[in-house]
Amino acid sequence: MSKKTSLFKLLALIAGLGLISGLLSTGLMAQEEVTEVVEAAVEAAPTPAEPDEDYLALVATYGATFDFFTISNLWTLIAAALVFLMHLGFATLESGLAQSKNTVNVLFKNVFIICMGLISYLLWGFNAMYPGDFNGFFAMGTPLTMADYGGTDFSYGGTGLCMTGWTDFIFQAMFAATAATIVSGAVAERVKLSSFMIFATLLVTFGYPVTGSWKWGGGWLDAMGFYDFAGSSLVHAFGGFAALACVILLGARKGKYLEGGKIKPILGHSMPLATIGVFLLFLGWFGFNGGSVLSAAPEAVSFVFVTTAIAAAAGGLAAIFVSWVVLKKPDLSMALNGILAGLVGITAGADSVTLYGSVFIGLIAGAIVVFSILFFDKIKIDDPVGAVSVHGICGIWGTVAVAIFQQEGGGFSFVTQLIGTLSIGAFAFIFSIIVFGIIKAVMGVRVSEEEEYEGLDIGEHGQEAYPDFQGATKG
Amino acid sequence: MSKKTSLFKLLALIAGLGLISGLLSTGLMAQEEVTEVVEAAVEAAPTPAEPDEDYLALVATYGATFDFFTISNLWTLIAAALVFLMHLGFATLESGLAQSKNTVNVLFKNVFIICMGLISYLLWGFNAMYPGDFNGFFAMGTPLTMADYGGTDFSYGGTGLCMTGWTDFIFQAMFAATAATIVSGAVAERVKLSSFMIFATLLVTFGYPVTGSWKWGGGWLDAMGFYDFAGSSLVHAFGGFAALACVILLGARKGKYLEGGKIKPILGHSMPLATIGVFLLFLGWFGFNGGSVLSAAPEAVSFVFVTTAIAAAAGGLAAIFVSWVVLKKPDLSMALNGILAGLVGITAGADSVTLYGSVFIGLIAGAIVVFSILFFDKIKIDDPVGAVSVHGICGIWGTVAVAIFQQEGGGFSFVTQLIGTLSIGAFAFIFSIIVFGIIKAVMGVRVSEEEEYEGLDIGEHGQEAYPDFQGATKG
Amino acid sequence: MSKKTSLFKLLALIAGLGLISGLLSTGLMAQEEVTEVVEAAVEAAPTPAEPDEDYLALVATYGATFDFFTISNLWTLIAAALVFLMHLGFATLESGLAQSKNTVNVLFKNVFIICMGLISYLLWGFNAMYPGDFNGFFAMGTPLTMADYGGTDFSYGGTGLCMTGWTDFIFQAMFAATAATIVSGAVAERVKLSSFMIFATLLVTFGYPVTGSWKWGGGWLDAMGFYDFAGSSLVHAFGGFAALACVILLGARKGKYLEGGKIKPILGHSMPLATIGVFLLFLGWFGFNGGSVLSAAPEAVSFVFVTTAIAAAAGGLAAIFVSWVVLKKPDLSMALNGILAGLVGITAGADSVTLYGSVFIGLIAGAIVVFSILFFDKIKIDDPVGAVSVHGICGIWGTVAVAIFQQEGGGFSFVTQLIGTLSIGAFAFIFSIIVFGIIKAVMGVRVSEEEEYEGLDIGEHGQEAYPDFQGATKG
Amino acid sequence: MKLVKAIIKPFKLEEVKEALSEIGIEGMTVTEVKGFGRQKGHTEIYRGSEYTVDFLPKVMVDIAIPDDVVAKTVEAISKAAKTGKIGDGKIFVLPVEDAIRIRTDEKGDGAI
Amino acid sequence: MKLVKAIIKPFKLEEVKEALSEIGIEGMTVTEVKGFGRQKGHTEIYRGSEYTVDFLPKVMVDIAIPDDVVAKTVEAISKAAKTGKIGDGKIFVLPVEDAIRIRTDEKGDGAI
Amino acid sequence: MKLVKAIIKPFKLEEVKEALSEIGIEGMTVTEVKGFGRQKGHTEIYRGSEYTVDFLPKVMVDIAIPDDVVAKTVEAISKAAKTGKIGDGKIFVLPVEDAIRIRTDEKGDGAI
Ligand SMILES: Nc1ncnc2c1ncn2[C@@H]1O[C@H](COP(=O)(O)OP(=O)(O)O)[C@@H](O)[C@H]1O
Ligand SMILES: Nc1ncnc2c1ncn2[C@@H]1O[C@H](COP(=O)(O)OP(=O)(O)O)[C@@H](O)[C@H]1O
Ligand SMILES: Nc1ncnc2c1ncn2[C@@H]1O[C@H](COP(=O)(O)OP(=O)(O)O)[C@@H](O)[C@H]1O
């Protein structure tokens, strides 16, 4: 009872404060000649401004489609920024799922990858991936020049690539580094820093653009009718299978697989960091998929937002319930992986599957990822963050799901999709086996056992992630 | 002195480096046929491109308003993404204000809520909240279909709802889950996971759309002239009063209220996490309020940005100074709550109060929240994150403040606003008392005392948030 | 071998699941009258909607440029939101680089600054910085009123300032607080809270608008042909030199510089927090620079995105390799500073340097920052986060770099750039020496030695950042 | 002088502290530890692999006291920390040869 | 009764625990500590200033045992924790006068 | 052999370490602890409720040393850790029966 009276008093207090401030504000309003905001514009109708010369010049250049071009260009830029944020998502997810003694190392790799990725894509990757006419399998890259990208207009790509060359570059550049980031998580906690940096650079510069050109550059897969909207295969399966190759060459973390087939989990050190990572990835995916519409065409972009979000949610729910049933506990790390699985799954067909197709794609991806993680652990493929399962296996799933859940009239073939995704995965795998294999032979890819035990933060960087020890303990 | 010389040397060094790199770059420029970026477009004037057929088809469909429609649609999608980010804001705020032994549990609930919220809104909520013609009080939901949402154009809602059906859905879906998230924080650290999951699902699916339909669905409150721009009442007070009901049924955390009326604070475990949460919520609110304009109309959206930011800032300042005076220390957690209070307060009238009205709304909300938190603690309503005060009490304040600080000619009635907000709060409270009450009777809503002491992370999830213990300690 | 068979089984499983769900979804599709999404719009061709009256009224007001105006306005608002996020970036970066015992204090200062900054810019700063006609050196501020900002249209600024007055205000307001935030990091871990709060308020309210008006307000530097696109000098060097003044007056942290010239590093407590901060700053910079185009003009905005990202990446790489060579270890904190250095460096010329100019600007900034940090430590300027080097020194570098790497026909003069940046830095330095000096004389600027040892969190706030101690230990 | 080393459940710390206050003990030092004992940890699952958490969070309280209050102290702790469930913890009594209060250089029983 | 206090390398904890289990010891308390010793820390660099990390992460294991198993225990720990490299750690044996199991109030050897 | 257990203010650790180095002691183990004592904590406020922080951050230094250097060690610590303000901490001296260096299996004084 007394609770209610008190509540009432509080509400009365609010009402009272309201009256006082009402009086106050009336005074103030008088002083500032309050006018209505929106109506003012219409009623007080200032004479329509003459467009200034700058604007007329722009329209003269771009024609009547200028406004739509501008919107679309802007959207793709914003999408690029969102994809950029995915790199923070990966950095936090991977460091959260690593032990604290390897945290600086994981963060460093992610910082390096985005920096290196942008520069290498500028100097080689972009032109290797979008070479114009080429043999369909492989093209050489060259540095971007200002001349090539300074004068683009609507004719560059119509509604299908409705942006300036700069925008095209920066959006694709943000994607490019992702492949290496995926590998980064899988090889965490034992890979030698310098070897990884070399491998990541080669993968992003020379590997990724090749398969990219097969489809998005207009190569043989594109000619075949293969469809991969935003990269379930071209980005995720590519990264996942590169990761698989590296993990096989690298071997498991010490102490992970014991004699007698026992598996000893090595726990990630911060669930909040990992959760932040997945939410940021989810957010970034609106740019990853939404931006892949390559214009702001309202229905396409909004439908992609819906399928992306729905598949992610379905993936999360499926992983929650599957892990609850199979593992007996509602596992947060599985829920997080389930969301990512749903996102990877929907990426290939976000614009072209049915609405409830996206639900099923997510649900199935969320289930697959749980079993896939268990499976890879069983065959002793030690992947600390589940990158192979999330990106590799669900990337394949998403690509073939385009054929299964396509909208009426889509005309996608299950077989073509399967050929495409397996070719891409195979290329990534073989490229990585060779390149990482050579690096292994030449300079080694693994830190010493001692360094692995002591942690790569001290070993590679001489720095701790959480060096604080209640006051000054360093001399 | 020597400092200055050194500084001078450093500046000289910069100048030197500048010269060298100038030379370098001149060489490079020659190679790449440098052209100016913007001017080139105008001067070299490529013949204006013919708009391609896709574009002409789009314009044929949408008419002359196509570009405005596209911008508006895009903005609402971006706003949806920002509202999505608020779920990360809640996840980090709530986990930061919880003890570390309950952190996984708090994060898990937030992950579940967004996944569940999207799916349940797809299958039921959206159509229950926006039913078209209905009795004004309650409508049945149905699953979305592609047919209903695939062909929307400007005629769907003019400048008042300037977006595709998909956009409309995803924007509203992101809102829907918020109500449950608010409850999540209030019941943290002792609620049984499965019971909460069931309650949250029922609340989002069946509770939230009802009051939503009263106003935004065109129901009885709308008919009465009640105004709630972006949901001070429909989202925040709704969530806050649902939270109040749950907290009353659930009881306080063990050890919070001691005999003799002494209150023992249970401290949140990470202030950085909590701060991250509030900044993300502040950011997300630009989408929450700004997106509620439902178009990109320049004056409306920009005015909403200003009032939103100003009220948040004023709320933060008020809470800082009030807590400094009342509690003698500048309290970070109160400052954070003050910002949120200002944001909740401005939500109902962000587009229709005066500029300095937004300052007062924020200031008063920031003051209210401090006293409200003290008050609820005094009456032993144990709300670990202050959700009832921030969302419930400031939600009421914001709703009535629309009438107090309205722009000239607004015509909002204090009484109508009060009736509206109290009806919504009352519905949320009663719905929750009944539903959570039944769950309590049937399966219990609280973990065992022992589990509460040991922490819900181990108890519900068998997982720790920070399991690291300098190396391998798990077998 | 067995690995491969198992992998094959997994793929088979996916294919199987795919078939099942294909069947499932076909059933579902039938029920929901699947229609294609994009084509439907065109084929089923609803009669183009008549634009409603609201829209016609808007166009009547704004003229034919309405759509472009709307896009541009929206972009600047989104950019403002991104700049807002930079404040979270600063909060996390600075708290990550502080000791845990000072974390609450660092966070609190950042929360205060953004709140105070917005309000003070509303009441004084905006009108002092953009005064219209004035003497070119100093103008008085006045509170914003609704009348001035409610009716703006395209005529407000053409394509050069293509937004409503509200947008103009909120974008600039988000910038304003940045100057104080830069200082905040430099004086961390020993500054007295109340003194800092007063100083920050005076700096943002009265200091920042003065130099701002010199260039962006159309003052004497603008007249001279000085160029600073988005604020390498006006924001960053300003903040950096204000920070330098404060640090000189404040003195080093106890125990940092030992007798015999030995320097004892005081390590930041959380590398993940610091990394989150830098990624968020990088993201926010797309708004900081991209929004400074002040319209959505496609080529300008997209080129700015590219130069911004490329300079940041180059800065990161340079700092990585320079620190690796000079310090022998790949230093994460230096890599992070390098990214920021690149961003500060490109800020002055993001729209007007050449493409490879942005690479060099970033590379050189990344190198400068490493040496500058070493240098300031050597002369015993104790700057915990490197703010003076990152913002001050690289701000100067970026400003003169505009002249060095300008596009053909740019016409920027090295001398003018140098005069401009040094004038701005000098003003910030002198303003701060005087104001902070007076505060020091009147009320002191430093906490007691004891408080410094025990930490400012307990001393100033009576609150710990990480109070958790495995269960309830507070009574 | 003795050092009483009590390993208890974390949430019992407050009660133990109060029980000690009541019998006039006004100094102690507390450490977060992980305990391994009969209270066999739960079997948990991380990403699908089962493992046993043997190391459970405990709190260790070190209290230096004069010989004559040992019994009383042990009893007070024991009573306050008991839940009757496995894992309640242990108390060890160690001999202490000397104690010094740093601030005053006092020695012996007077120092604690 | 004795308290065996072993300071070991963190990643050796598991092996030590298993070695102790094998000889029938089923209780211990573990603390995260930082050690300073001959294993002179690395010289590190933070933002350009060199410093030595003298304090290295170690784990301290406290085990209370009856007198007669001391030798066996020390040997088991020593064997399991040895890497042969500097910094392997120390074992100290301290006398314990009494032990109490809080749950049952058992005393002496039976309590551990 | 003795175990000197010093509980000091955290920011004094470095000075204590240096003081010990000067008298030739080159090994120690440090633990972060929370101390409760005469230095009654501050009254703080969290979201409006007052509470007392009794547990203050301290650092505990464990040093095993031969009997003959105990006095010197205690003095060195005491001098280095003193601020003269309440809460400076305590030093306890405990008997140690044996010490083993894990790496070499050395025993006794030679092991420390
Ligand atoms: N022999 C021992 N030496 C040191 N600590 C011990 C020993 N046995 C138990 N402990 C500590 O006491 C705690 C409780 O012991 P446990 O055997 O689980 O239950 P109980 O105290 O009910 O017998 C353990 O978690 C551990 O920290
Ligand atoms: N005298 C001592 N007292 C307490 N702990 C010590 C002592 N000497 C060494 N330690 C601990 O033992 C650890 C290993 O010692 P160290 O001298 O580095 O190598 P080693 O054990 O090979 O001789 C140190 O890190 C420290 O924790
Ligand atoms: N009886 C005791 N047993 C164990 N530790 C103690 C005891 N008394 C004090 N301490 C430790 O010493 C620290 C300082 O003691 P305190 O009484 O506050 O000041 P002082 O050392 O100046 O007497 C405490 O915080 C606590 O960690």
pLDDT digits (tens, 9 = 90+) for B138-184: 988 889 887 656 556 666 677 778 899 999 999 999 999 888 899 99
**For range C325-338, the mean pLDDT:** 92
- Nearest Cα residue to atom 20 of ligand 1: D87
Beta strand pairing call for E49-52 and E56-65: unpaired
Atom of ligand 3 nearest to the CA of F34: 27
Closest CA to C71 of B150, E106, A55, A353: A55
Atom of ligand 2 nearest to the CA of E90: 12
Nearest-CB residue to D52 (from B255, B453, B475): B475
Q: What's the token pair of residue D33?
A: 């530890």
pLDDT of A385 reads: 96
- Residue B6 CA to ligand 2 center (angstroms) comes to 44
d(CA B330, CA B76): 38
- Residue F87 CA to ligand 3 center (angstroms) comes to 7
Query: CA of C469: which chain D residue's CA is closest?
Result: D32
Is the C-beta atom of F63 inside 6 A of ligand 2?
yes
| C272 pLDDT higher than 90 | yes
pLDDT digits (tens, 9 = 90+) for C164-183: 999 999 999 999 988 889 99
* Phi, psi values for residue A168, rounded to 5°: -55, -50
pTM (two decimals): 0.92
Closest listed ligand to the CA of E60: 2
Is the C-beta atom of D29 inside 6 A of ligand 3?
yes
Give C426's pLDDT tier (boundaries 50, 70, 90).
Answer: very high
d(CA A215, CA A208): 12
Identify the weakest region by mean pLDDT among A435-439, C63-67, E26-30.
C63-67
| B372 pLDDT higher than 70 | yes
Closest CA to F3 of F100, F98, F103: F98
Residues of B in contact with F44 (CB under 8 A): 329
Give A6's pLDDT tier (boundaries 50, 70, 90).
Answer: low
Residues of D in contact with C467 (CB under 8 A): none
Residues of E in contact with D31 (CB under 8 A): 31
- Nearest Cα residue to atom 20 of ligand 2: E87
Query: CA of D96: which chain F residue's CA is closest?
Result: F94
Give A345's pLDDT tier (boundaries 50, 70, 90).
Answer: very high
Nearest-CB residue to B472 (from E11, E30, E57): E11
- Nearest Cα residue to atom 27 of ligand 2: E35
| C151 pLDDT higher than 60 | no
Residues of B in contact with E11 (CB under 8 A): 471-472
Closest CA to A58 of C68, F32, D105: C68
Give A30's pLDDT tier (boundaries 50, 70, 90).
Answer: very low
pLDDT of C327 reads: 85
- Interchain pair C475, F11: CB under 8 A: no
Nearest-CB residue to F26 (from E6, E34, E37): E37
Is the C-beta atom of D78 inside 6 A of ligand 1?
no
Nearest-CB residue to A373 (from D44, D47, D51): D47
Query: CA of E52: which chain A residue's CA is closest?
Result: A475
Is the C-beta atom of E41 inside 6 A of ligand 2?
no
Q: What's the token pair of residue A291?
A: 């931006």
Identify the weakest region by mean pLDDT among A132-136, A380-384, C100-104.
A132-136
| B261 pLDDT higher than 90 | no
HEC states along C331-379? CHHHHHHHHHHHHHHHHCCCCCECHHHHHHHHHHHHHHHHHHHHHHHHC
pLDDT of C35 reads: 32
- Residue F26 CA to ligand 3 center (angstroms) comes to 26
- Beta carbons of B422 and B238 less than 8 angstroms apart: no
Instruction: Choose which residue among E9, E90, E93 to substitute to test ligand 2 binding: the one with the highest number of ligand atoms within 8 A of its C-beta.
Output: E90
Atom of ligand 1 nearest to the CA of E62: 4
Is the C-beta atom of E56 inside 6 A of ligand 2?
yes
Task: Name the domain count of chain D.
Answer: 1
What are the Cα distances from residue B221, in Å, to B224, B415, B417, B421, B431? 5, 12, 9, 10, 18
- Say yes or no: D93 contacts chain F, CB-CB below 8 A: no
- Say yes or no: D7 contacts chain C, CB-CB below 8 A: no
d(CA A305, CA A78): 14
Domain that holds residue D90: 2-111
Nearest-CB residue to C473 (from F14, F55, F85): F55
Query: CA of F56: which chain C residue's CA is closest?
Result: C454
Best of F55, F58, F85, F88 to disrupt the C interface (most C CBs within 10 Å) is: F55
Best of B111, B120, B161, B302 to disrupt the A interface (most A CBs within 10 Å) is: B111
Closest listed ligand to the CA of E17: 1
- Beta carbons of F29 and F61 less than 8 angstroms apart: yes
Over chain C, what is the mean pLDDT? 88
Chains B and C form CB pairs within 8 A to the count of 310
- Interchain pair F46, B265: CB under 8 A: yes
- Interchain pair E32, B471: CB under 8 A: no
Q: What is the CATH number of the domain that holds F100?
A: 3.30.70.120
Closest listed ligand to the CA of D84: 1
- Interchain pair D53, B469: CB under 8 A: no
Is the C-beta atom of E15 inside 6 A of ligand 1?
no
pLDDT of B7 reads: 61
d(CA F49, CA B255): 14
Is the C-beta atom of F60 inside 6 A of ligand 3?
no
- Nearest Cα residue to atom 9 of ligand 3: D27
Quote the distance between the C-alpha of residue B208 and its chain's center. Answer: 15
- Interchain pair D10, C475: CB under 8 A: no
Query: CA of A11: which chain B residue's CA is closest?
Result: B393
**For range C198-217, the mean pLDDT:** 96
Closest listed ligand to the CA of D32: 1
Closest listed ligand to the CA of D38: 1
d(CA B300, CA D45): 52
Distance from CA of F98 to the nearest CA of A (A): 28
- Residue F64 CA to ligand 2 center (angstroms) comes to 9
| B474 pLDDT higher than 50 | no
Query: CA of A373: which chain C residue's CA is closest?
Result: C10
**For range C275-280, the mean pLDDT:** 98
Give C108's pLDDT tier (boundaries 50, 70, 90).
Answer: very high
Please name the residues between 52 and 91 in chain E that touch chain D, using a CB distance below 8 Å.
62, 64
Nearest-CB residue to A473 (from F9, F14, F57): F14
Over chain A, what is the mean pLDDT? 88
| C251 pLDDT higher than 60 | yes
| A29 pLDDT higher than 50 | no
| C27 pLDDT higher than 60 | no
pLDDT of F102 reads: 95
Instruction: Please name every residue paired with F60 in a beta bridge, in sequence order, or none if there are none.
Output: F7, F31
- In degrees, to the nearest 5, what angle opens at C-alpha C253 toward C-alphas C252 and C256? 90
> How large is the angle between the packed helices C103-120 and B298-327, nearest 10 degrees?
130
Closest CA to F6 of F28, F39, F37: F28
Q: What's the token pair of residue A224?
A: 């075949």
DSSP B347-372: HTTTTTB-HHHHHHHHHHHHHHHHHH
**For range C25-40, the mean pLDDT:** 38
- Residue D30 CA to ligand 1 center (angstroms) comes to 17
